[in-house]
Copies of this chain bind each other. A is one copy, B any other.
Amino acid sequence: MSVLEQIKEKVDQATNILILTHENPDGDAVGSSLGFMNALKKIGKKVTVLIPEINNMYSFLPGFDEIKHEIDTPEEFDLCIALDSADIERLHICKPYFEKIEHTVVIDHHITNQNFGDVNYVNAIASSTCQNLIVVLAAMDIAISKEMAECIYTGILTDTGGFRYNTQSETFEFAAMLLETGIDIAKIYRLVFDTTTEKRTRLLSRALDRLEILEEGKVAFTYITKQDEEDLQAEDGDHENIVNYGRNIEGVEVSIFAREKGEGKYKLSLRANEYVDVSQIAAKYAGGGHLRAAGLEMNMPIEQVKQTIVDEIKKQLK
C-alpha cells in the first residue's frame, strides 16, 4: 500500500482526530492545520486542532476560532496528525499528546524530517506542507472547498514569500486550481504581507533615521537600542524586516542590522545580495546561518560593533 493509501486508511479508521503543528506556527503550519481540519470535518470526522500559542494574523482563516489552546483528555483521540514538523521536538509542549495517541500520521515538506509517525508523507521538493496536503486530499478523494483553499493558499503564499522562492511549476499549477474555488487572493495577500502595526512602523522609522551607507555604497548599517524597544513597547519580531531596507538599496552588497539585547550587547543580522559569504563572518564570531543570511553577537559599544563588522565585510568586497 502506498503512503497515501495508508494515510487514507488511517483516517478512514479514525473517529476522533487531533491535529498538531510546530511551535511559533507560521502560515504554512496554521494553513495546513485548518485546511486539513476543514477537510476531515467534511467527511464526518471529529477533529481538534491544538495550538497552544498562535499569532492573530491568521484569524481570517476559516476555522481559526475553533483552534484549541489546551485540551484535557488526549486519551479520547484515536489518530494524531503532525503537520509541517520535521521532528517530534518541534511539537514542543504538544509532544506528549503525539506520543500517547495510538495511531499517528506525519505530513511535511522539510528535507530533515525524521519520519516520526506510523505513516509519513514527506515530499521535500514541495514549497510547503500545504502543497503536500493537496496531494493527500486528492488521494483521499476530498474535493477542495473554498474554505480549505483559503487555508491552503495562505500556507503556500507564506512559505514561498509570495511565489518568490521555493516555488515549483506544480506550486503555480496548484495555485491555479485553488483560485478556481473563488478565493480572494488579493485579500489574503494584504492580510498576510501588507499588514503591520504602528509599533513596527515607528521602530523602522528609528532604524532608518540611523541608516548609514558605507564603503562606496556597498554596505548598509543601522541599529536599534533597547531604549527604542522600551519606548515603543516593541514586541518580539517587530524588528524582523528592518535589515532588508538596507539590502534592497541599489548597489548595496551587505546590509547589517544590529539590535541591542543588553548594555553593550548586540545581536547582528547580516544579509548579502550577490557574492559576500556572510556565514563565514558569522562563524568567526560564533554565530551561524546561511551564505547570504547570517547572524552573530558582539559585546562592545555600537561604534565599535560597526567598525569591527565593516572591517570583516571589507575583506570580501569587490
Residues in A lying within 8 Å of B, measured CB to CB = 162-165, 167-173, 175-177, 179-180, 185-186, 189, 194-198, 201-202, 204-205, 208-209, 211, 213, 217, 244-245, 247-250
Contact = CB atoms under 8 A, between A and B. Distances in A.
Nearest to A173: B176
A208 B211 contact: no
Given A167-B179, A180-B169, A209 B198 contact: no
A30 to B, nearest CB: 18
A205 B211 contact: yes
B163 A197 contact: no
A165 B177 contact: no
A221 to B, nearest CB: 13
Nearest to A205: B208
A interface, by DSSP: helix, strand, loop or mixed?
helix
A194 B208 CA distance: 16
Contact of A196 (B168, B170, B172, B250): B250
A175 B170 CA distance: 10
A164 B177 contact: no
A145 to B, nearest CB: 16
Contact of A204 (B179, B208, B217): B208
6 contacts: A172-B179, A194-B244, A197-B249, A198-B213, A202-B208, A205-B205
B217 A209 contact: no
Contact of A209 (B168, B170, B176, B209): B209
Contacts of A196: 248-250
Given A194-B248, A205-B205, A211-B205, A164 B176 contact: no
